[in-house]
């Protein structure tokens, strides 16, 4: 099966399930976020095993961070994340590792700050007073449209490299196409439904596109540093879980704070 066909099949199967769980919200969305966070952390810690991350502290921190978002909002979510630091320090004190404590604890905290903290903002977005379901749908579909448009246009007409030192396959042509797709999704989803004005929906679309591109390049930088091509093979042509949600981990927080500012 070609990489493109594999990506299409995975998307057709996974996207309806994800949207259904977002629709039901509450603990259904929490369960989805927790599953994605734990799988993503497993992939990251496997890629960086030479850094000797404190895996148990990372997993416990992920659970605490997402539970905080689910039960108490942003303050409890941050509290759950801070708990990771204490757990990492305690485990480092009893672990038998020759790795530097800065590297070991730093790599552990990086995983929790990046993955569950990013996903936790989608839980927070689902709990905003008005249009919560629509807002999360918009973020997911805008990221998906951005990724698809960037991939197709980049392969077909891409000539100018976006960030060759980090991700040689990404092009400016794909970036522009992806940004346009994300803005279009935000406009039709949020302005046409009466949630945001034209200008506000465009601003949100741009925020999702720019943050998503940064998230994609962030993961590419980590993979290049750790000398791996994909975070895993769980999702076929998409690679691993992190390869699928990397843009979302930056776009979700960006969307949450932009919606708070505009709505």
Spell out a b/e string for 83-110, using b for 16 or more CB atoms within 10 Å of the CB, else e. bbeebbeebbeeeeeeeeeeebbebbbb
130: Cα within 13 Å, side-chain hemisphere:
9
Q: Is the pLDDT of residue 56 over 70?
A: yes
Tell me how far apart the alpha carbons of residues 204 and 63 are, in angstroms, rounded to a whole number. 29
pLDDT at 130 (0 to 100): 87
Which residues 6+ apart lie within 8 Å of 142 measured at CB? 181, 182, 185, 186, 189, 205, 208, 209, 212, 251
Rounded to whole angstroms, what are the CA distances from 88 to 111, 112, 240? 12, 11, 25
Question: What pairs with residue 171 in β-bridges?
Answer: 161
Tell me how far apart the alpha carbons of residues 98 and 230 are, in angstroms, rounded to a whole number. 27
Domain ranges of the chain: 3-262
Nearest to 195 by CA among 133, 118, 143, 140: 133
Tell me how far apart the alpha carbons of residues 229 and 238 are, in angstroms, rounded to a whole number. 12
Contact 46, 233 (CB under 8 A): no
The more confident residue out of 242 and 8 is 242
- Helix, coil or strand: residue 207: helix
Give me the phi and psi of 162, to 5 degrees please.
Answer: -80, -50
pLDDT at 230 (0 to 100): 78
Question: Across residues 51-80, what is the average pLDDT?
Answer: 96
pLDDT at 7 (0 to 100): 65
Residues of the chain above pLDDT 90, percent: 74
pLDDT digits over 116-160, tens only?
A: 999 999 999 999 988 999 999 999 999 999 998 998 999 899 889
pLDDT at 177 (0 to 100): 96
Reading the block at residue 233, the tokens are 């093979």
Tell me how far apart the alpha carbons of residues 211 and 175 are, in angstroms, rounded to a whole number. 12
Instruction: Name the pLDDT band for 194 (thresholds 50, 70, 90).
Output: confident
Tell me how far apart the alpha carbons of residues 193 and 134 are, in angstroms, rounded to a whole number. 9
Which residues 6+ apart lie within 8 Å of 134 measured at CB? 189, 190, 193, 195
Instruction: Name the pLDDT band for 236 (thresholds 50, 70, 90).
Output: low
Report the mean per-residue pLDDT for the chain.
91
Q: Is the pLDDT of residue 32 over 70?
A: yes
Q: Is 16 exposed, middle or buried (0-12, 13-18, 19+ CB in 10 A)?
A: exposed
Which residues 6+ apart lie within 8 Å of 237 measured at CB? 1, 2, 3, 4, 5, 6, 7, 10
Instruction: Name the pLDDT band for 5 (thresholds 50, 70, 90).
Output: low
Residue 128: enclosing H or E segment and its boundaries?
none
pLDDT at 200 (0 to 100): 94
């Amino acid at each position: 099966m070609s990489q493109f066909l594999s990506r299409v099949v995975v998307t057709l199967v996974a996207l309806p399930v994800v949207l259904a769980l977002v629709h039901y919200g509450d603990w259904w969305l929490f369960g989805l976020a927790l599953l994605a966070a734990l799988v993503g952390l497993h992939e990251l810690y496997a890629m960086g095993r030479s850094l000797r991350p404190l895996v148990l502290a990372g997993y416990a921190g992920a659970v605490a961070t997402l539970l905080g978002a689910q039960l108490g909002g942003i303050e409890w979510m941050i509290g759950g994340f801070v708990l990771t630091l204490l757990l990492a320090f305690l485990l480092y004190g009893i672990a038998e590792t020759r790795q530097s404590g800065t590297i070991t604890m730093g790599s552990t905290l990086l995983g929790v700050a990046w993955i569950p903290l990013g996903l936790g903002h989608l839980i927070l977005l689902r709990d905003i007073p008005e249009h919560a379901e629509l807002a999360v749908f918009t973020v997911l579909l805008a990221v998906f449209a951005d990724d698809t448009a960037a991939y197709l246009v980049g392969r077909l007409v891409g000539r100018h490299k976006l960030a060759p030192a980090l991700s040689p396959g990404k092009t400016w042509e794909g970036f522009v196409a992806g940004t346009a797709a994300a803005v279009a999704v935000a406009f039709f989803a949020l302005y046409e439904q009466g949630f945001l004005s034209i200008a506000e929906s465009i601003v949100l679309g741009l925020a999702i596109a720019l943050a998503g591109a940064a998230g994609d390049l962030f993961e590419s930088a980590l993979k290049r540093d750790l000398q791996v091509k994909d975070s895993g093979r769980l999702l076929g042509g998409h690679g691993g879980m992190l390869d699928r949600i990397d843009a979302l981990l930056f776009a979700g927080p960006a969307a949450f704070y932009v919606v708070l500012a505009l709505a």
